A and B are shown apart, each in its own frame.
Chain A
């Protein structure tokens, strides 16, 4: 009986193993990504282009629904011994991957498979975000974006302005003027965990303010958060004042309309969001509404620094055959071609990640005409300084939890539960506890 049972179970297990597609003529590899909705369709098109372009390899692309689900599902698959060959990992998940033994470094993969990649071709800001401390690229930057100021030209015309505010002082005056001109919501923002990145992270980047010690964590796992002692405190205080005066409004799905939709519908006249929303706003806004994008404002007297890149990069995981790695290298090489950059940026709004991709798009007149005009602002904002003087990104552990703490802190401020300094001090204190916990988890590990 026991042997029968055992053989039944093992047969079942074998059946499960066989159920995964066997390696047939073209080498098949799996690519898991987190994008959903329209962007997911675009990723599928990129995969289709690759599969149609040659016969040796086939990439099977599967959306996991969200960035963190892609990471979570891949961890489960990796622990189960069947990871996808390529996985998309979002910006702040980079550190977890780097400290794991789960990946095959991108630079090594390409070299091993005979591809010569000029890593200096990537924009410095993008490289800085994903590279190791020695400048090695372990993953391929894929969908990349940064935050921009979106402003409604029609409304600004009513207050006699033809340009977007360059400083926050100017922006505050504009908000007041817009309010006086009868606009109900001059500036829209959100303070949820997913939408505080433009308020704290990008704000700190363009002002050259540190988020954490040790070069925002690039210098070691023992970094400590510092954003309770920087210009961000002033910004949070101003934002709260604008909110109290009715100049700035919280717009989120919880209030009935998120801030991007609020801008696109003309309900709100300014907002900060990703260049990745440029296409979306173009499609959903009233065609008669005139709007544009500009660089994020900075406070008067502040030297502008490079903004941070946001988005995700592609990692190749361990545990696959040389043929599969060949296929992965071919796919990664394919998507870094300028033609693919043009296609990808056209259909999504994400920026090209390489200089040649950008040049190719410029030479095709991509940025000259609507609806794509304006997206070059994102490239300019990422490259204000030829060589970034700041950390170029954030390398802090369990950063989603820290974003959660910040969101809670901001909510306490806007619900009048605590004053700005007290709330941010507590946020930083709790955030540091998270960092210490992360450091203890990776005891003995060094940042690569």
Chain B
């Protein structure tokens, strides 16, 4: 123990004559002071005696969270109960009017349903595709080293660029789908068919998240001891059997983590793709909750309406996440 350490308050000062300073109460309260020191040294731990140092160390983080989350969330909460003028200069307290207006509007419920469909479809598509790709890559097939790095790239592509690329690929009169429409005229038209437009954004969003999910699945697969798999193979378990009975159950914690992340992100991170590809159309078929917030707030300058919608979305995501931890996580064994 050096002097500078004790000055910094990282470790307790050397105690003299068994007298404990008041502030070292707490964890070791009721234990003779000399014993405390011994125990601290035995455990080889440094611990804090100064509250201020601890607070100072977490202050930057707290400040960041406060500035970028609690503060805006607080302002949004306030705006949700008022009518806020975009250029400032006045806001009118309206109580729950913003929420009742929203929740009594069938169009808003339609947007909740669209968001749920989108979340379920894109999470399902992204995770299942990523899992298949990861299982195949994990088998060290020829070229798996290349796949391993290439499959990560899509996640780095910005949503607008991605949206534009898929808008072109899936356009009914240009690109690949024009060919399909030549064979079956009128089959595919995301500009007017709501279901087609939904498929478009699901594909684009999943494409991005496949790569994210893939990394996690592959890492988890590689953490499964090879000996287990080999033993099963020697016992005569085929490839699919090994995947079904060993690899996928052992992936359960990763699956759970990815479900939470994918669902949350599909609710909150999808507006860029929607804005470029469908703008919520046709006839509101792809008007996801988060896109409606973006449109009403950023384009329509209806700050209060957008704030109320954000609060509803936030509550929805919180409830969804709690539900997943409550009901799904229970069935998962981490070891």
User: Are A and B part of the same complex?
Assistant: yes
B87/A100 in contact, CB under 8 A: yes
| B225 at interface by CB-CB < 8 Å | no
A79 to B89, CA, bound (A): 10
B168 contacts A by Cβ under 8 Å: yes
How far in angstroms is the closest Cβ of chain A from B227?
A: 53
Known: A255-B171, A401-B300, A414-B192. A75 touches B87 (CB 8 A): yes
Contact among B59, B94, B192, B277 with A250 in the assembled complex (CB-CB below 8 Å): B192
Q: Is B158 an interface residue (CB 8 A)?
A: no
CB 8 Å contact bits of B147-175 with A (1 = contact, 0 = none):
00000000000000000000110011111
B53 contacts the other chain (CB 8 A): yes
User: Please, which residues of chain B bring their CB within 8 A of the CB of A443?
Assistant: 83, 92
Interface string of A74-103 (1 = CB under 8 A from B): 010011000000000000000011011110
CB contact between B87 and one of A2, A9, A96, A257 (< 8 Å): that residue: A96
Q: Are A408 and B283 in contact (CB under 8 A)?
A: yes
Contact of B174 among A72, A100, A257, A411 (CB under 8 A): A257
Name which of B89, B101, B175 has the most chain A CB atoms within 10 A of its CB.
B89
Contact A255 B173 (CB under 8 A): yes
Name the CB-closest residue of A to B84. A441
Chain A residues, CB < 8 A from B280: 404, 408
Asked if B190 CB lies within 8 Å of chain A CBs, one says: yes
A253 and B52 CA atoms in complex are apart in Å by 58
In the assembly, what is the distance between CA of A28 and CA of B106, in Å? 51
Q: Residue B299 at the A interface, CB < 8 A?
A: yes
Contact of A2 among B52, B89, B277, B296 (CB under 8 A): B52
Cα distance, A233 to B57, chains bound together (Å): 66
With A72-B298, A256-B168, A256-B172 given, is the CB distance from A5 to B89 under 8 Å?
no
**Cβ–Cβ < 8 Å partners of B107 in chain A:** 430
CA distance A417 to B298 in the complex (A): 29
List B59-113 residues whose CB lies under 8 Å from chain A: 59, 63, 83-90, 92, 94, 101, 107
Across-interface contacts of A250 in B (CB, < 8 A): 191-192
Stretch at the interface among B124-132, B232-240, B246-254, B301-309: B301-309
Contact B86 A192 (CB under 8 A): no
Tell me the bound Cα distance from A441 to B295 in angstroms: 18
Whether A256 contacts B173 in the complex (CB less than 8 A), given A2-B52, A78-B87, A442-B85, comes out as: yes
Contacts of A78 in B (CB 8 A): 87-88
A215 on interface, CB distance cutoff 8 Å? no
Partner of B191, one of A254, A398, A400, A441: A254
Q: How many residues of B contact A (CB 8 A)?
A: 49
* Chain A residues whose C-beta falls within 8 Å of the C-beta of B175 in the assembled complex: 256
A192–B88 Cα distance when bound, in Å, is 30
Contact yes or no, B300 A254, CB < 8 A: no
From known contacts A68-B299, A400-B300, A415-B192, infer whether A5 and B59 are also in contact, taking CB-CB under 8 Å.
yes
Q: Does B24 contact A (CB under 8 A)?
A: no
Any chain B CB within 8 A of the CB of A407? yes
Asked if B281 CB lies within 8 Å of chain A CBs, one says: yes
C-alpha gap A5/B299 in the complex (Å): 39
Q: Do A254 and B83 contact each other (CB < 8 Å), given the known contacts A411-B282, A415-B192?
A: no
Q: How far is the CA of A407 from the CA of B178 in the complex (A)?
A: 25
For A411, list chain B residues within 8 Å (CB).
192, 281-283
CA gap between A415 and B283 in the complex, in Å = 8
- Is A79 a contact partner of B53 (Cβ separation < 8 A)? no
Max count, chain A CB within 10 A of own CB: residue among B53, B168, B277, B299: B299
Q: Is A126 an interface residue (CB 8 A)?
A: no
CA distance A425 to B59 in the complex (A): 56
Say whether A96 contacts B86, CB under 8 Å: yes
Q: Is A1 an interface residue (CB 8 A)?
A: yes
Please give me the residue from chain B that is nearest to A252 by CB atom. Answer: B191
CB contacts (< 8 Å) of B89 on chain A: these are: 100-102
B167 and A254 contacting across the interface, CB-CB below 8 Å: yes
Q: Mark B283-327, 1 if CB is under 8 A from A, else 0.
A: 110000000000110111110110000000000000000000000
B163-207 at interface with A (beta carbon < 8 Å): 167-168, 171-175, 178, 189-194
8 Å CB contact of A401 from B101, B192, B296:
B296
**With a CB–CB cut-off of 8 A, which chain A residues contact B59?**
5
Pair A255/B172 contact, Cβ less than 8 Å: yes
A434 to B295, CA, bound (A): 13
Complex Cα gap A442–B90 (Å): 8
Contacts A1-B56, A256-B168; A440 near B87 (Cβ below 8 A): no
B278 close to chain A: CB less than 8 A? yes
CB within 8 A of B277: which of A68, A254, A255, A401? A254
A360 to B302, CA, bound (A): 43
A419 near B: Cβ within 8 Å?
A: no
Task: Tell yes or no: A437 within 8 A of B by CB.
Answer: yes
A192 touching B302, Cβ below 8 Å: no
* A193 contacts chain B at the CB level, 8 A cutoff: yes
A170 contacts the other chain (CB 8 A): no
> What is the chain A residue whose CB lies nearest that of B190?
A254
Query: Any chain B CB within 8 A of the CB of A412?
Result: yes
User: Are A417 and B283 also in contact (CB < 8 A) when A254-B167, A256-B171, A442-B85 are?
Assistant: yes
A68 touches B298 (CB 8 A): yes
Task: Mark A389-414 against chain B: 1 for CB-CB distance below 8 A, else 0.
Answer: 00000000010110010011001101
Q: Can you name 19 A-B pairs with beta carbons within 8 Å?
A: A1-B52, A72-B301, A79-B88, A253-B171, A400-B301, A404-B295, A404-B299, A407-B279, A411-B192, A414-B192, A415-B282, A415-B283, A417-B283, A440-B83, A440-B92, A441-B83, A441-B85, A441-B92, A441-B304
A: which residues have CB within 8 A of B?
1-2, 5, 9, 68, 71-72, 75, 78-79, 96-97, 99-102, 192-193, 250, 252-257, 398, 400-401, 404, 407-408, 411-412, 414-415, 417, 430, 434, 437, 440-443
The 3 lowest CB-CB distance pairs between A and B, nearest first, are A256-B174, A100-B87, A256-B171
Beyond contacts A252-B191, A434-B302, A440-B92: 5 other A-B pairs, Cβ-Cβ < 8 A, are A96-B87, A250-B191, A255-B174, A408-B284, A412-B283
